Chain A
Amino acid sequence: MAVALALVLIALGSVLFHLLSPWWWTPIASNWKYIDDTIIVTFWITGVVFVAVVLFVAYCIYRFRHQPGRQAHYEPENTRLEVVLTSVTGLGVIAMLTPGLFVWNHFITVPEDATNIEIVGQQWQWSYRLPGPDGKLGSSDTRNVTPDNPLGINKDDPASQDDVVVEGAELRLPVGKPVKALLRSIDVLHDFYVPEFRAKMDLVPGQVSYFWLTPTRTGTFEILCAELCGVGHPQMRGTVMVQTEADYQAWLDGQSHRSFARLTAPGN
């Protein structure tokens, strides 16, 4: 009997906890509100199922607990009931999967006008490369890494020369502009994770992965590494600053001292 009561408390307590919990997602700062919406749909469907199942079990324990003279009902199968339950479950799955796949399609389809930026991970820090006036990033390879070229940018690629290399400083992005982040690691796996952006993706040595987003509000957000990358993993933090278009341009115009050509110039 106590167990029936405990199950009722678990079902209702979980719902109350969900509604009253002070621990909830961070205010969103990107276009991925679709993801939040899909999570809400999933919370509703799974929440209803959880409460229904647990309360039903509690009811059965109360109603069909052993008492003198009680005999269980003998019924090996009930095809109709099983078909109905299976179909209802199938509908619930479709209700969650369909929006999920639509949003995923959106997530992996990068808009044509997105600006490429590069995010490079290494134990245990973040570096960035932004396209210079030519709007293009030069090619790169881990084999090119030297002390004066820590990101392994290709010196012979004309597109590389004006690239802005940001090391040991924050990443800046203009608000309202779609950005395609090209992710590269020069040692082990990392994961670029800004909770307010919702999007995240691993950085894998030997290949370039990507995700895209459009920042929707200005502000400063913390970058975390979300893929175990060795003992310094929790210290691998960074900062991303989302600015208005004008502020961003003004900053970018002042960054010619960070251009790749300048950094690798002899005597520097």
Chain B
Amino acid sequence: MVDVPLGPAGAVPPADVEDMSLYHPHSWVTKYVFSQDAKVIAVQYSITALSVGLIALVLSWLMRLQLGFPGVFSFIDANAYYQFITMHGMMMVVYVLTALFLGGFGNYLIPLMIGARDMVFPYANMLSFWFYLLAVLVLVASFFAPGGPTGAGWTLYPPQAITSGTPGGQDWGIILMLVSLMIFIIGFTMGGLNYVVTVLQARTRGMTLMRMPLTVWGIFTASFMALLAFPALFVGCVMMLFDRTLGTSFFVPAIVEMGQPLERSGGSPLLFQHLFWFFGHPEVYIVALPAFGIVSDIISTHARRNIFGYRMMVWALLAIGALSFVVWAHHMYVSGMNPYFGFFFATTTLIIAIPTAIKVYNWILTLWRGNIHLTVPMLFALAFIVTFVNGGLTGLFLGNVVVDVPLSDTMFVVAHFHMVMGVAPILVIFGAIYHWYPKVTGRMLNDALGKLHFWVTFLGAYLIFFPMHYLGLMGMPRRYYDSSDIAFVPSSAHTLNAFITIVALTVGAVQLVFVFNLLWSLRHGRKADGNPWRATTLEWQTPETPPPHGNWGKEQPVVYRWAYDYSVPGAARDFIPQNEPPVARPSLETVS
């Protein structure tokens, strides 16, 4: 124990250094590598996730080459094909979309948008990123492990995932996949607790819940859901890891493997499917809700109009979040589960369409009587509406139990989920990067390159996935290494597959233009002022751009209004920032 002398007033005297200088990082390493600043962590998360996205993009090229031109590329054998689709799927869903929306946008935007200085647990926040990076490294390591990565499909259904008929099933592939997921979930839990507690506890004065921008609502709800959903995947991973390495029988009943009976009995393959989809369906909305929130703010800002029906939008988000926990078995209509579950899960699934439709109506009613600036972020937001509505509507086919029966496990499903949780959220990510890049870097992204990127990506993605539904309707199964010898598939369908592949390669290539734009504009982009889109939300009102550690300088902002005061009649400008005090009325300070 150190004796601290009491000062003259009978209290401990102030320290010799200022509080803030203890708080700020002092070395390059603590500033940029082991940083506890949410904004730096956000950039770390985003760069890592985008890099994984590029790997997943290359994997999608390889699988499309096989589907479009079967047998032409001899290095893509059946083993490799299944490894590519598995890694592409898992990378995109978990390591790209979840990480980018929550770890990337969540970290950057939550503290800034609610007027906080940082996340409430900066150290755990830092650990969250390093766990995520470790999970990515373990996952990528499986490419170099004996036997290669797992080829079990991203759903990892046992017993197939851990038996010898599947690539990586009896090698390292499946083990590394499960371990990587577990590390990811541990890392996410530290981040997710941060996002939720920060929103609940660290909002600045005046920022009531119902004044929060919808971006924060979306990320907050998704984080809350992820904290409830990921544990189901975690236990599933632990149990499968035990089945694979210790010989337990959680998911493996008495089976014969390649002619040899296994010493297993009593396990249930369906148990894993329930655990997986109890995570897997909320996961769809964990990706979608942040996209919903972000796109609401982009549309409102660039249409210079308040978001239509804000309160309804918040309640719809919460309703979707809650309902998404009672729809999981709609992925299992033909799984052999008790068929009476079908009535319940079809009903809950179609009910979700109602709050979702409300969101779509409110986006398009925000455009109605707006003042629409067709900026690059706005173009991506409009494209999101089209692809999301398309993908959402095909969900009504697959959710309606009996309609799902002929369509499940066909290319219709592949087309549906790519449109609704691949293309649509990624368009939002692009829009959001064009929107917030000036705040992160202080420079604008190049407009012409952005428009090129937009047109090729949007039209290309639609050309890839819209016709694909009809291949599935015809009965072409998904996860087929080679469909060319199926009797009922006409040669025109193979031509269509080749066309889809060519478009996919083009859309993939234009993403390199986007990457170039990100790097080039860092140095050469037009300098941005603090609020280039003339937006109301707090992140645009920081004293400095890019905002330094601590965000707000000496004083945190005080919030006087909701986030959507655009084109208020009688106002001098067509936007009123949230921290602008009302005129002709006493400010909050003098009242309290």
Interface residues of A (CB under 8 A from B): 1, 3, 6-7, 10, 14, 17, 21-26, 32, 34-35, 38-39, 42, 45-46, 49-50, 53-54, 56-57, 60-61, 64-66, 70-78, 81-82, 85-86, 89-90, 93, 96-97, 100-101, 103-105, 107-108, 122-124, 141-143, 145, 147, 183, 185-189, 191, 193, 195-196, 198-207, 209, 222, 224-234
Q: Which single member of B155, B268, B305, B357 contacts A74 (CB below 8 Å)?
A: B305
What are the 7 A-B residue pairs with the smallest beta carbon separation, nearest first? A206-B253, A195-B475, A230-B165, A209-B336, A73-B369, A72-B305, A46-B393
Task: Tell me which residues across on chain A come within 8 A of B259, comparing CB atoms.
Answer: 147
Contacts of B248 in A (CB 8 A): none
Supposing A77-B309, A103-B402 touch, asked if A188 and B160 sit within 8 A by C-beta, the answer is yes
A35 to B473 Cα, complex, angstroms: 12
Question: For the complex, is B358 an interface residue (Cβ under 8 Å from A)?
Answer: yes
Q: Is B586 an interface residue (CB 8 A)?
A: no
Q: Does B379 contact A (CB under 8 A)?
A: yes
Question: Known contacts A22-B492, A57-B367; is A97 also within 8 Å of B346 by CB?
Answer: yes
Contact B303 A72 (CB under 8 A): yes
Kindly identify which residue among A3, A57, A225 contacts B374, using a CB–CB cutoff of 8 Å: A3
- The reply to whether B358 and A201 contact each other, CB–CB distance below 8 Å, is no
Q: Quick one: given A10-B462, A54-B386, are A187 and B159 in contact (CB under 8 Å)? A: yes
* A60 with B364: CB separation less than 8 A: yes
Interface string of B556-592 (1 = CB under 8 A from A): 0000000010111100001000000000000000000
Q: Does B360 interact with chain A (Cβ within 8 Å)?
A: yes
User: Cα distance A100–B402 when bound, in Å?
Assistant: 6
The 8 Å CB contact of B165, one of A42, A196, A231, is A231
Q: How far is the CB of A22 from chain B (nearest CB, A)?
A: 5
Contact partner of B343 (CB less than 8 A), chosen from A34, A101, A203, is A101
A42-B396 CB under 8 A given contacts A206-B254, A222-B488, A229-B160: yes
Q: What is the CA–CA distance of A191 and B385 in the complex, to the nearest angstrom? A: 35
How many Å from the CB of A165 to the closest CB on chain B? 16
The answer to whether the Cβ of B511 comes within 8 Å of any Cβ in the partner chain is no
Q: How far is the CB of B253 from chain A (nearest CB, A)?
A: 3
Give residues 89-108 of B contacting A (CB, 8 Å): none
Least CB distance from B51 to A in Å reads 28
B400 and A96 form a contact (CB under 8 A): yes
**Given pairs A101-B402, A188-B163, A206-B255, 16 additional interface contacts (CB within 8 A):** A42-B396, A57-B386, A72-B370, A74-B566, A100-B400, A103-B402, A143-B261, A195-B474, A201-B334, A204-B335, A205-B253, A206-B268, A224-B486, A228-B157, A230-B160, A234-B483
Contact A66 B372 (CB under 8 A): yes
| Interface pairs (18), CB distance under 8 Å | A22-B492, A23-B470, A38-B402, A66-B371, A66-B373, A71-B304, A73-B305, A73-B370, A86-B354, A93-B396, A101-B343, A101-B347, A107-B339, A107-B405, A191-B409, A204-B269, A230-B165, A231-B167
Residues of A within 8 A of B493 (CB): 23
Contact across chains for B165 and A229 when beta carbons are under 8 A apart: yes
Size of the chain B interface, CB-CB below 8 angstroms: 114
- Min Cβ gap A183→B in Å is 7
Which of B379, B401, B480 sits near A233, CB closer than 8 Å?
B480
Partner of A35 from B266, B267, B304, B403 at Cβ < 8 Å: B403
Interface residues of B in 357-404 (CB under 8 A from A): 357-358, 360-362, 364-365, 367-374, 379, 382, 385-386, 389-390, 393-394, 396-397, 400-403
Task: Evaluate contact between B371 and A71: CB separation under 8 angstroms.
Answer: yes
The answer to whether B470 and A21 have CB atoms under 8 Å apart is yes
Assess whether B334 is in contact with A50, with CB atoms less than 8 Å apart: no
Is B433 an interface position by the 8 A CB rule? no
Q: Say whether B566 contacts A72, CB under 8 Å.
A: yes
B309 adjacent to A82 (CB under 8 Å): yes
Q: Is B534 an interface residue (CB 8 A)?
A: no
Interface string of B506-541 (1 = CB under 8 A from A): 000000000000000000000000000000000000
Taking the closest CB of chain B, its distance from the CB of A32, in whole angstroms, is: 8
In the complex the two chains form, what is the Cα distance from A6 to B461 in whole Å?
A: 14
Quick one: given A60-B367, A82-B358, are A187 and B255 in contact (CB under 8 Å)?
yes
Q: Name the one of B153, B255, B467 contacting A186, with C-beta atoms under 8 angstroms.
A: B255
For B354, what are the chain A residues with a Cβ–Cβ distance below 8 Å? 86, 89-90, 93
What residue of chain B has the Cβ atom nearest to residue A9's Cβ?
A: B459
Whether the pair B403, A39 counts as a contact (CB closer than 8 A) is yes
In the complex, which residues of chain A have a beta carbon less than 8 angstroms from the beta carbon of B462?
10
Give chain B residues whose Cβ lies under 8 Å from the Cβ of A186: 255-256
Task: Find the B residue at minimum CB distance from A6.
Answer: B459
- B residues with a Cβ closer than 8 A to A are 78-79, 82, 151-153, 155, 157, 159-160, 163, 165-167, 169, 253-259, 261, 265-270, 303-306, 308-312, 334-336, 339-340, 342-343, 346-347, 350-351, 353-354, 357-358, 360-362, 364-365, 367-374, 379, 382, 385-386, 389-390, 393-394, 396-397, 400-403, 405-406, 408-410, 458-459, 462, 466-467, 470-471, 473-475, 477, 479-483, 486-488, 490, 492-493, 496, 564, 566-569, 574
B253 engages A75 (CB within 8 Å): no
Chain A residues within an 8 Å CB radius of B353: 89, 93
| Chain A proximity of B338: nearest CB distance (Å) | 9
Chain A residues near B574 (CB-CB < 8 A): 71-72
The residues of A that contact B152 with a CB separation of less than 8 Å are 228
Residue in A7, A183, A234 with the greatest tally of chain B CB atoms within 10 Å: A234
* Distance of B402 from chain A, by nearest CB (Å): 4
Q: Would you call B374 and A234 a contact (CB within 8 A)?
A: no
Contact check, B167 vs A23: say whether CB atoms are below 8 A apart. Answer: no
Q: How far is the CA of A42 from the CA of B350 in the complex (A)?
A: 12
Cβ–Cβ contact B410 & A226, under 8 A: yes
Cβ contacts under 8 Å, A185 to chain B: 255
Q: How far is the CB of A42 from chain B (nearest CB, A)?
A: 5
The answer to whether A73 and B567 have CB atoms under 8 Å apart is: yes
* Complex interface: chain B residues within 8 A of A81 (CB): 365
| Closest CB in chain A relative to B261 CB, distance in Å | 6
Given the complex of chains A and B, what is the CA–CA distance between A56 and B370 in angstroms? 13
| Complex: A207 Cα to B151 Cα, angstroms | 25
Question: Cβ of A26: which chain B residues have Cβ within 8 Å of it?
Answer: 474-475, 488
B374 A198 Cβ-Cβ under 8 A: no
Q: How far is the CB of A150 from chain B (nearest CB, A)?
A: 9
Residue pair A206, B308 in contact (C-beta under 8 Å): no
A231 touches B255 (CB 8 A): no
Known A60-B372, A82-B358: A23·B474 in contact at CB below 8 Å: yes
Q: CA A108 – CA B334 in complex, angstroms?
A: 11
Q: How far is the CA of A73 from the CA of B370 in the complex (A)?
A: 6
> What CA separation (Å) do A150 and B589 show in the bound complex?
83
A204 touches B340 (CB 8 A): no
Determine whether the beta carbon of A200 is less than 8 Å from that of B397. no
From the candidates A107, A203, A231, name the one contacting B79 in the complex (CB within 8 A): A231
Contact check, B471 vs A23: say whether CB atoms are below 8 A apart.
Answer: yes
Partner of A24, one of B166, B382, B474: B474
Question: Which B residues are in CB contact (< 8 Å) with A22?
Answer: 490, 492
* Contact partners of A14 in chain B: CB under 8 A: 390, 466
Chain B residues within 8 Å of A71, by CB: 304, 371, 567, 574
- The residues of B that contact A86 with a CB separation of less than 8 Å are 354, 357-358
Query: Inside 8 A of A89's CB, which chain B residues have their CB?
Result: 353-354, 357-358
Q: Does B257 lie within 8 Å of A187, measured CB to CB?
A: yes
B354, B403, B409 interface centre (most CB from chain A within 10 Å): B403
Residues of B within 8 A of A206 (CB): 253-255, 266-269
Query: B390 to chain A: which residues have CB within 8 Å?
Result: 14, 50
CB distance from A60 to the nearest CB of B (A): 4
A205 close to B159 (CB less than 8 A):
yes
